[in-house]
Chain A
Amino acid sequence: MRDRPQRGEKRGLGTAFAALLGLVTLWPAQLLARPTVAVLYDPAQVPHVRFIAAFEEALAREARNARLELRPLGDSRPLPEVAAVVAVGYEALSTALEGRRPVVAALVPRVSLETAVARAARRLAPEGDVTGVYLDQPPRRTMRLVRLVLPGARELGVLLGPTSVRLRRELERAAHTQGFRLHTTEVNPGESAPRAAETLLDEVEALLAVPDPLVYNRYTLHGILLAAYHHHVPMFGFSRAYVQAGALAAVYSEPQDLAPTVARLCARAMRRRPLPAPVYPEIFRVSVNRHVARSLGAFVPGEPELLRELKRSEEEPR
């Protein structure tokens, strides 16, 4: 209530009445003029909290009058009338898709966002009122990184699981653009990803990791990374943790990097403008494991230089 306009000089009954009338008539208008953005999130997840901190700032820059309504997951109170619902994470997105629209997804990888929307679409969801920023990087960006790190490589391997297999065509296109021949191996439920990797690694010069929990999880990563390393094949990860674990390099976005774009999409929703399709992260980082680079005998440019090159190549008309 702190920014409710001050009205209050006592100039008699008329003024008071006028003021009261004004208050009564302006109050709902005031409410409408201060659109609410609800944020659905899991307070127990550190990346969610980091995202929200950055998002609050970014939204304040995009739309000064916006009001933020933070809703932890599990809070079953009905949402008020909102301009947009920001769903942080996959679980929040699944919940948000059952409620008010439009929904702006954050911290959700592409295949998961598509899965969630496809599931919800069967029930309600007019198209176009779900957008967001994917958590994973566009294949053309990751492949560009592989190219910058390994200028001479030709054979590129990708392990695909039941969900990531949907990215195959996009991966193939990006690989072609960067001059790679793409080798894919599908890991089916019940199969061992490290074992599948063994076969693939015989044929490739680099392994690109694509998020798919059936292929890459904390148990399989060990075997895959060791197998790749023993084949002298560098792995390109999708997070900083992967680089720390032993991937040669990764391009990734931190939660706060996604906030400005999500805020911009929310501002658009507030102005009731049509929402674009979900987009890939615009802000990203590069991380390189120097120990692995040296051990594999790879001469990898510095992180700032790689980042500069990646940005430069995305500015070029495709």
Chain B
Amino acid sequence: MNRFVVSDPSRCIGCGACRVTCSEAHRKRALRPASRISLVKTRDVSAAVTCHQCEGAPCLSVCPEGAIYQEGDRLQVDEARCTGCLLCALVCPFGAVYPSSPSTAHVKAAPYSRASSARSAGLLRQKETGAYTSVVVCDLCAKAPDGPRCIAACPTKALSLMDEGALSHLARERRIDAIEKTNVAMQGTAQLAELLAAEAAFEAADVDEEARP
């Protein structure tokens, strides 16, 4: 099953540590430096949005060059093959495919970089350097030893890795919740106290069950 990074908006403080970490972690591994995680801020929400490593990945299926491929349970971009056509970015349902030009602006000992952080200036820069865009997608930091760096960097622990175990744990909690709600709806509130007691017992039993190896 695919694994992916998810974000808890009630914990996100919009600080961008995940984005910088993503960019740095890939740059240090000689990959394109664009962040593979984005930060969405609306009036009421701040949250990171990430690639879901879809098994039936639309980005992979539309790539005319075969530059995106699946490696085990995750996606990888072959930067040398990518032509920068951005078809994959058009079809990604999460907006999680990012064009990345080589970062020339801020490397060590390149003191007089282009001033602007505008997107348009990025395009100008590529022409000057003769390099063009490659897309990047989250690779779960496959080349780093300890898994996704963004999760480690988040100071509020808003990011976590959703995998089969985490998903089934979450589903189990939801189902227990659902049982309670269904029962309440079917049997009426008079029996609520009894149900809650039953649920507590159920949970205790559940804990016992989980405690067993």
Q: Do A and B come from one complex?
A: no
Residues of A within 8 A of B (CB): none
